[in-house]
Structures are given as C-alpha cells and as structure tokens.
Amino acid sequence: MKRTLIASSILMMLATSAHAADDLQNIRSEIQQMKASYEARIQALEARLAQTEAATKQANTKAEQADSKAEHASQTAAVAALPAPSNENAFNPAISLILSGTASHSSLSPSTYKIGGFIPSGGEVAPNPRGFSLGESELAISANIDPDFRGNFMLAMAPDNTVAVENAYLQTLGLGHGLTASAGRFYSGIGYLNNVHAHAWDFTDSPLVYKAFLGNQFGDDGVQLTWLAPTESLLVELGAEIGSGRSFPATTRDKNGSVAGALYAHVGGDYDESNSWRAGLSYLGAGPQNRSYDDTDVNGVATTNSFSGKSQTWIGDFVWKWAPNGNTTVRNFKLQGEYMHRNETGDLTCTGGACSGVPGAYQSAQSGWYLQGVYQFMPHWRVGLRHDRLNSGSVDLGTGLTAADLPILAAYNPKRNTVMFDYSPSEFSRFRVQYARDESRPTEADNQFALQYIMSLGAHGAHTF
C-alpha cells in the first residue's frame, strides 16, 4: 500500500511540472508578441513625428520668407516715401510770380500824403502813383525740405526798381501736439489781414488803421511758435513771436535779444453748412529807439523827429463768411473788421526849423478801425464796400515840445469810404476798379480812382481763412 501512494505522488508531481513548463512557454510567447506590437507602434509614431517636424519646419521656412518679403516691401515703401534726393532733376519747389499794375487818378498828389493826427509810419502807405504804374511784383518759392521742415521765400519788387526780401523762413512739419515753429523773416500772425499778401487783399490798398498803426503790415526777423488745439468743431490757435523789431512801430537796436514781441489768439468754426466765422485778439509790444521821420513845422520848414520809448498795440479782429451750402463758386459774402488801440510813451525829439532839439516827453493813446463787406453776386464778379475811421485820441507833449513843432499831431479823426468792383476770369487773374473818398489829410478830401490787374503765374499756396 505504501508503495502505491509513493508512486501516485511521483506521477502527480511529474504531471504538475509538465503543465508549468507549458505556461511559461505561453507567457514568453505573449511577451514576444507584445514587444513586436509595441515596436511597430513606436516606429509608426516616430515616422509620424518625423513627418510632422518636417512639415512644421517647411511652414516656418515659408513664414520666414513671407516676413522677409513683407519687411523688404515695407522698407521699399519707406524709401519711396522719403523725399527724392536733391539732385538737379529731383529738386522741384513750387515757384510762382505775381504781376500787378494800376492806372490811378487822384485829386491830391500822393507825394504829399500824410495821415493827420498820427506820427508817420513810413513804408509804402501813400495812395497809388498817378497815371500808369507797375504794382508790386512778387516772386515766391516754397517746398518741403525733408519730412521735418518746409522752406518759404518771397521776393518783392517795387515799382521804383527796389527789391526786398518780404518773407524767408523755415517751418517745422512734425513737432506734433499741434505745435509749429517758424524762424526767419515773416509777417506776424497778429490781427486778420496782417499776414495776407497784398495781391490777396480785397481792395487795392490796406485799411487806414494798418497804414497808421503798422505801416501797412508788421513783419519781423525772429521766431514764431503756434499751437493748434486738438479740437474738432472749434478752431483754437495760440501764437507767440519775438524778433528784432525791424519794421514800424518798432526799430532795430544794437542789443542782444528781442526788441519786439507779439501774442495772439484766434478762435473760429462753422456756424452751419453755409456760415463760418473767426475772431481774434492780438498784442504787439515794441521798444523803438530813435524811430525817426521827416516832417515840417508850422512854418513849413523841414524837421526831423525821432521817438524812443515803448509802443503797445492791441488788435481785435472778426470775420464772417457765408456761402450757400459751403459752395463759394457761385455766391458768397465776407464781412470783415478790425479794431486797433495803441499806447506810446517815451521821448520825442524835434530838430530843424523852430524846434529846440531838446527831447521832450511824449505820450499818446490812439485808436482806429475798419469794416468791409465783399459780395460775390455771380460767378467771377464781386462788389465790395469798406469804411475806415481813425481817432487821434490824446497826445501829451512834455517840456521842450510845442504843438507848433509837430503840426502833424494836431487832433484830427481821418476817415475814408471805398467801393470796389472786380472780375476774375479764373483763380489766376483779376481785374478791379476802385473809388475812394479819402479824408486822411485835414486840409482836403482826396478822390482816388484806380484800375488794377493782378496775375498769378505758377503754383501758389492757398491763403488763410
């Protein structure tokens, strides 16, 4: 029995061992299959990864090429936007020439013209010469120098064959924040008409108040800074100037720094589609020294007078323009007026004749204004009316001066009425007929008739509002 149990046990052990060997073989087989499967998947993933990386690299290359092309195009456009080099062919500034002439008839000689009650301002304030005469011709050149600066130059050729530099200044283009700076010789921005050139006036001559207070127009050598407010519906402009004081009421002086200065403010805008306006307030201060002028005393003996002291002028201006729906080509109307008030204090010296030649105190407060309207009633045709009036105000003479020494300063209130009629075949040509009854001289009224032509050749910049 015992031998039987032992044999059975041995047989069972042999059977179990054989079964375990089969399981190990199966496991090893499954592991090999899994390894083969994973290796195949890994190889497939690696292949996809390689393809993706290649596609990404190709896309990046194309993007870099596109960026390069865009940058090249941008650089090309920037170069194209720059001003052309200043070679002979590329240099092309705007050049214009203004031609004008008059045929005048007046009852009093322009050579004896003086405005009663006021110190003579000098300059070309007398009426047009009798008979035929050449008006002032103007040669203007202007262009952008580079993206930052612009240059303007104007040469005025007077009928007496004298030539003068009227304007020569540079102007900034890109200061930003509404700022513009100018340096050189320019007409001041004070008032409304002061910086408008003569060929753009609505009458053949300037208002009396400009003749008496500014010697026609105040221009200076110096610097100007203007600021235009960033507003949409309302124009707000502020300006400041300092200069050498080269024209009346200032004088140049042998000193460092400025002799004259100006401040002004302009506001304006559109009232509606057909109406627009502008108003302004200006101040001009100067310190003239030995501002001389020739005169005669009460006996008609020639004298030479000079003033040194302070001159302060305030100017108020207003302009209203009307054009149906903003179209100025058929009908339009402009109403324009300015008021000036001037105070002067200092010393006045009179030499020659019965004058003592001893400086005496001089103080004056004087004013004047004009109002004019110009109506274009049909294309090319306009009619205008202007009224001038001056007030000699108060003039105080100190010790050493008598009224007989300075008869021109006798109290008198000049006035003038002017009517004009003009025809403009185009924007480049104009013919005008004008009549004025001028009572600037205390002795007698002057009846003045004038025929005028104004021709513009070449490119000419637009004028201000």
Short-list 293, 297, 289, 409, CA closest to 352: 297
pLDDT at 31: 80
Q: Write out pLDDT tens, residues 350-395.
A: 888 777 777 889 999 999 999 999 999 999 999 999 999 999 999 9
Q: Region 400-411: what's the mean pLDDT?
A: 86
Whether residue 310 contacts residue 283, with contact meaning beta carbons closer than 8 Å, is answered with no
Pick the residue with more confidence: 303 or 18?
303
Q: Phi-psi category of 122—alpha, beta or left, where left has phi over 0 and alpha has psi -120 to 50? A: left
pTM score above 0.85: no
Q: Region 135-142: what's the mean pLDDT?
A: 91
Whether residue 295 contacts residue 120, with contact meaning beta carbons closer than 8 Å, is answered with yes
Whether residue 102 contacts residue 448, with contact meaning beta carbons closer than 8 Å, is answered with no
- Helices (runs of H) and strands (runs of E) counted in the chain: 2, 18
Q: Region 229-250: what's the mean pLDDT?
A: 94
pLDDT at 16: 55
Short-list 258, 264, 174, CA closest to 464: 264
Whether residue 182 contacts residue 169, with contact meaning beta carbons closer than 8 Å, is answered with yes
Q: Region 15-22: what's the mean pLDDT?
A: 61
83 pLDDT more than 50: no
3-state secondary structure of 423: strand
pLDDT at 66: 64
Short-list 433, 359, 329, CA closest to 102: 433
pLDDT at 45: 79
What is the percent of the chain with per-residue pLDDT over 70, rounded to a whole number?
88
Q: How many residues does the chain have?
A: 465
Pick the residue with more confidence: 73 or 310?
310
1 pLDDT more than 60: no
pLDDT at 182: 97
Sequence-distant contacts of 21-30: CB under 8 A, at least 24 apart: none
Q: CA-CA distance, 79 to 117, in Å (whole number)?
A: 62
3 pLDDT more than 80: no
Q: Region 44-73: what's the mean pLDDT?
A: 72
Minimum mean pLDDT among 72-86, 109-123, 289-303, 430-444: which range?
72-86
Tokens 């609505």 appear where? 202
pLDDT at 464: 65
Whether residue 169 contacts residue 186, with contact meaning beta carbons closer than 8 Å, is answered with yes
pLDDT at 344: 97
Average pLDDT of every residue of the chain: 87
What is the percent of the chain with per-residue pLDDT over 90, rounded to a whole number?
63
Q: CA-CA distance, 305 to 408, in Å (whole number)?
A: 11
Q: Region 97-102: what's the mean pLDDT?
A: 95
Q: Region 27-56: what's the mean pLDDT?
A: 79
Q: CA-CA distance, 125 to 104, in Å (whole number)?
A: 15
Collect all residues with Cβ–Cβ distance below 8 Å to 110 and sequence separation of at least 6: 126, 127, 128, 129, 130
- HSE-up of residue 456 (Cα within 13 Å, Cβ side): 18
Whether residue 366 contacts residue 330, with contact meaning beta carbons closer than 8 Å, is answered with no
